[in-house]
Structure 1
Amino acid sequence: MRISTAQFYQTSSSNYQTNFSNVVNTGQQATDNIRVRTAADDPVGAARLLQLQQQSSLLDQYSGNVTNVRNSLGTSESTLNGITNILARVKELAIGAGSGGFTDTDRKANAQELAQLEEQLYSLMNSRDENGKYLFSGSRADTPPYAKNADGTYTYQGDEGSLNLQVGDMLSIAANENGYQVFEQALNTSRSKVTMTAPTVNDGRLALSNGQVSGSTVYNDRFRSGEPYTITFVSGTQYKITDAGNNDVTLDAAGGGTFNGKSGTINFRGVDMRMDVTPKPGDTGAELAGHTFTLASKPDDISGSRSPGNPSQVQNTGAQIVDADLYHKAFPGGGAVFKFTSPTDYEVYAQPMGPNSSPVATGTMTGNTTTVAGVQFTFDNNAATNPMKAGDQYAIKVDAHQTQNILDSVSEFRKALAMPVDNDQASRQKYLAALDSAIGNLESGANKVAEAISSIGARGAALDVQAETNESLKMANTITQSSIRDADPAEVLTRLSLQKTMLEASQLAFTKISSLSLFNRL
């Protein structure tokens, strides 16, 4: 076979370039120990490396989220611990205020301390994190969770949402607490109401407090189904209780309707009522016969407040249930929003109102009153001096007395301490009832805060486990990437030595062969 000189030189040059390229590439591997730089080096390995790099980026993001969640939970826990300490001090004041040796002056001093504690509690419940976001507003982190109303009550302005961060492939954790769950869902122990119906003029001999709910399950299952109840004292040592159907249910009361003729407590279907007996000189006890009371759950309270951005200054001055059956069937239980589309026409939305919400009712207001779903609302609008305007909105709050936020519990207790009771038996009875309510509601509120702290601890433990898992995955990811991307130093050095030898051989062969020529034989 004959090979032309041009073909020989071309073949030799190609072989030399290939060998030189191999030596350069292998030399680079020997320097930085990287085997796969491009997909051409190892198509399957390069695809796997891309997947591993994406996983590594996710793990880095999870690590950042773990840090953020841990910091947020730590701040929330510290704040809740501070709230717990304040509630403990308030409860101490409540228990101490029940002492028979306390005077109006003592109670007034306690009320002053309680006012400071209330301000501290209000401040803590409106705490922010290191980014300036409110801790307890749910997903509305830029809105203060609590606002103080003109009447001294407090309104929750956040929502029931939470800010969840992904900390693992299959795990997301709430980084915050919402005030609705922590502070708004404390059971209200003062959910019942007692009204004296006989004698028509109170003779001061017998009084029953509104009562405290001591067993929510019994209260909901048995008490609510039979109300309203009638409590009739038939003698100085016996009373009778009948339900709404006039059935005798006295045996459901502790003691079966008997008492020792002195002050004490009536326990009936999860409700504890303080009974104060104040005999007059010469009384034999028979004078208690005929005293009658009604006992039932407190009716819902409805109140409305104008939006600060309203075009007009019209206020909602009253809300009254005028049709209880229609109210229970149709009025939004979570509250409503009045939105006026003209000075007289309005739409009513159920809370929470979103951008895609549809009105649950519409109507036209005549004068300054209107009725919606059994509730009559009154406004102080005046066509000449203070007219309603399109765009006015009013938040309608429904208080079913099932729960009570801890700020309102503290505020009511403070107001009770300010009552002068030393020389007024009736006022003292109201004060003692308020004291019972305060102790019960503070205990309930403290329990909800403790539940929140426990929840934070559980999430913190889950976060620690996930953080360890992420670290293990990160380590495994790094090892796997290294096994695919990195070269074997021994193999690389052996290959480099071989390739250098081949390069030198090709150079020598080219030199020898290129010197062969027919002209050397002439």
Structure 2
Amino acid sequence: MRVSTSQIFDSGYRGIGGNQFDLFKLQNHLSTGRRMLAPEDDPVAAAQALVVTQSQSVNSQYLTNQADAKDRLGVLDGQLQSLNNLLQHVRERVVQAGNTTLTGADRSYIADELESRFAELLGLANGQDATGNYLFSGYQGTLKPFAQTTTGANYQGDEGVRLLQVEASRDMPTNISGIELFSRIMNGNGTFQTSASGNVLPVPAPPAVGAVNTPPNLGTAIIDQGSVRDVTAWNAALAATTALAIPATTPQQYRDLELRFSINNTVTPPVTEYNVFAIDKVANTSAQLNAAPLPYTPGQAISLSGLTTTPADLGISVSISGNPADGDSFRLSPSVNQDVFTTLRNTINTIRTGVAPELNAAGTVIGGISSIEYSNRLAGNLQNLSNALENVNRMQSTVGARLHELDALSNTGEDKKLQYSTSLSALQDLDYTKAISDLTRKQMQLEAAQISFKQTSQLSLFSIL
């Protein structure tokens, strides 16, 4: 085969150029530390690296969201702890105020301090985060959630839950609505609330809705907060149209039970007895449930069962200590939601009312209620404060569980981050040992090509003629 001089030069040019290009690529690989500079270097690995990079980016965003959620929940947890401490202190002061031997001035000092605590409570409820958004206003981050009123405070936010996606299938709540924390608190024991409803003599009729019987109880009896043995039985009795002889049109929250005491002077010695009435607070009517008066023993639990109209056990009981006067009565009302502001305001008002005879600085009687009535009211308020504190504790547990979950998700995310980095390294990182060996080989090939081209290019027939 005849080889022309131009073919020799073309072949030498292509050989040297190819080796120079390969050497250039190897130098780029070594300078960047990457074995893939373009998809054509390894199409399969390039496609896999793209998938891993996208997953790594999503995981990094989840880690950022988790850190953000931790910050928000951390602020929320601090606010809840402050609220817990506040309510604990308020309870201590209310217990102190329950000492009926305190003077009017002593109770006034306690009431003044509780006024300050009320302002502090309102400040916590209207707390803001680092960005200026209100913590407890639901979706309405720029709206102050609570506005003070004469009876407590009104909620102006909503029940929205701010969610932050912290995993592919997990949206983490980062707030608590004010209505859930401060307002959605069942009063009494959570099933029913007890109170001294006043002396029913001489007219044994229930009060109008929201009204209070006068005069108050005249005896020394104090009722506890009651206990629930079977909440299903109690709810069934409230819902039934015949169990308490109350029409179905009357809402359950307006169906009360009342224990009315009387002194039976026909026997010696006289015996204290009681009757149980179902109260329809809408129709302002009452119906006696037991066929005959029941004997009363101070301190003994009164189990509301075996009644004529309701032979089934109502599932609840109360204990009354002391000696009721003739006509004294106690009310059992279904528990309803009562916000902590109303509870604290009622507590302050009770303490300011004081124990009769309440005197001013000049020694003039300015009011007051009996020590028994005072104790009954304060006991109910103390129970409601305990309920508010329990609700705060429950919310703290919820926030703590969320923070614990975020820690677990963060640990998993960090593990994924390491796995993605390892996978990308295996797909993209350069094997320096192999690359340096290839570089040395290419350098030798280039030098050999250059030398051979030099020698071949000098071959000519004219040089030997």
User: Shared fold by TM > 0.5?
Assistant: yes
Q: 1:436 to 1:58 in 2, by over 3 A?
A: same
**Post-superposition offset of 1:200:** 2.2
- Once superposed, what is the RMSD of the aligned Cα atoms? 3.3
Q: Deviations over 1:132-181 (max 9, x none)?
A: 121222222222221112x2321122222222222233333222222222
Is 1:421 matched up with 2:424?
A: no
AA at the equivalent of 2:62: Y
Is 1:224 matched up with 2:254?
A: no
**Post-superposition offset of 1:65:** 1.9
AA at the equivalent of 1:157: Q
Q: Deviations over 1:93-136 (max 9, x none)?
A: 21122223123222111100110111111111211111112122
Aligned position for 2:170: 171
Distance 1:45 1:459 in 2: 39
Q: More deviation in 434-443 or 213-222?
A: 213-222
Distance 1:265 1:109 in 2: 37
Q: 1:100 to 1:431 in 2, by over 3 A?
A: closer
**Post-superposition offset of 1:488:** 0.8
Aligned position for 1:486: 429
Q: More deviation in 169-178 or 466-475?
A: 169-178
Aligned position for 2:460: 517
Q: Percent identity?
A: 25
Conserved 8 A contact 1:250-1:257: no
Aligned ranges 1:58-457 → 2 under 5 Å: 58-149=58-149, 151-189=150-188, 191=193, 194=197, 197-200=200-203, 205=218, 212=225, 214-215=227-228, 218=231, 220-221=234-235, 224-225=238-239, 226=244, 227-229=255-257, 231-233=259-261, 235=264, 236-243=271-278, 248-249=289-290, 257-260=294-297, 268=304, 270=316, 272=318, 277=323, 288=326, 291=327, 295=331, 297=333, 402-423=336-357, 428-457=371-400
Q: 1:73 to 1:250 in 2, by over 3 A?
A: farther
Conserved 8 A contact 1:104-1:422: no
Q: Deviations over 1:427-459 (max 9, x none)?
A: 555433321221110110000101111112111
Aligned position for 1:506: 449
Conserved 8 A contact 1:206-1:275: no
Aligned position for 2:209: none
**Post-superposition offset of 1:478:** 1.3
Distance 1:217 1:117 in 2: 37
Aligned position for 2:251: none
Q: Deviations over 1:350-379 (max 9, x none)?
A: xxxxxxxxxxxxxxxxxxxxxxxxxxxxxx
Distance 2:354 2:395 in 1: 37
Distance 1:519 1:208 in 2: 138
Distance 1:418 1:195 in 2: 20
Q: 1:114 to 1:230 in 2, by over 3 A?
A: closer
Conserved 8 A contact 1:135-1:177: yes
Query: How many residue pairs align between the two structures?
Result: 404
Conserved 8 A contact 2:186-2:387: yes
Distance 1:89 1:223 in 2: 38
Distance 2:324 2:406 in 1: 60
Distance 1:246 1:412 in 2: 30
Provide TM-score, normalisation by structure 2.
0.77
Q: Which runs of 5+ in 1 are unaligned?
A: 280-287, 299-400
AA at the equivalent of 2:18: T
Distance 1:278 1:296 in 2: 16
Q: Deviations over 1:203-233 (max 9, x none)?
A: 8655988984644963852552434546454
Q: Deviations over 1:59-118 (max 9, x none)?
A: 322222222222222221122111111111111121122223123222111100110111
Provide TM-score, normalisation by structure 1.
0.69
AA at the equivalent of 2:158: D
Q: 1:97 to 1:428 in 2, by over 3 A?
A: same
AA at the equivalent of 2:96: G
Q: 1:126 to 1:167 in 2, by over 3 A?
A: same
AA at the equivalent of 2:202: P
**Post-superposition offset of 1:501:** 1.4
Aligned position for 1:27: 27
Q: 1:172 to 1:216 in 2, by over 3 A?
A: farther
Q: Which runs of 5+ in 2 are unaligned?
A: 205-213, 245-254, 265-270, 280-285, 305-314, 358-366
Which structure carries more relative contact order (alpha carbon 8 Å, separation 6+)? 2
Determine helix, strand or coil for the equivalent of 2:60. helix
**Post-superposition offset of 1:248:** 3.9
Determine helix, strand or coil for the equivalent of 1:105. helix
**Post-superposition offset of 1:28:** 2.2
Distance 1:452 1:155 in 2: 21
- Indicate which of 446, 459, 478 corresponds to 2:402: 459
Conserved 8 A contact 2:275-2:288: no
Conserved 8 A contact 2:222-2:321: yes
Conserved 8 A contact 2:257-2:332: yes
Q: Deviations over 1:438-488 (max 9, x none)?
A: 111011000010111111211111111111111111111112111111111
Q: More deviation in 161-170 or 109-118?
A: 161-170
Determine helix, strand or coil for the equivalent of 1:101. coil
AA at the equivalent of 1:489: Y
Q: 1:246 to 1:419 in 2, by over 3 A?
A: closer
AA at the equivalent of 2:437: T
Distance 1:249 1:16 in 2: 115
Conserved 8 A contact 1:91-1:442: yes
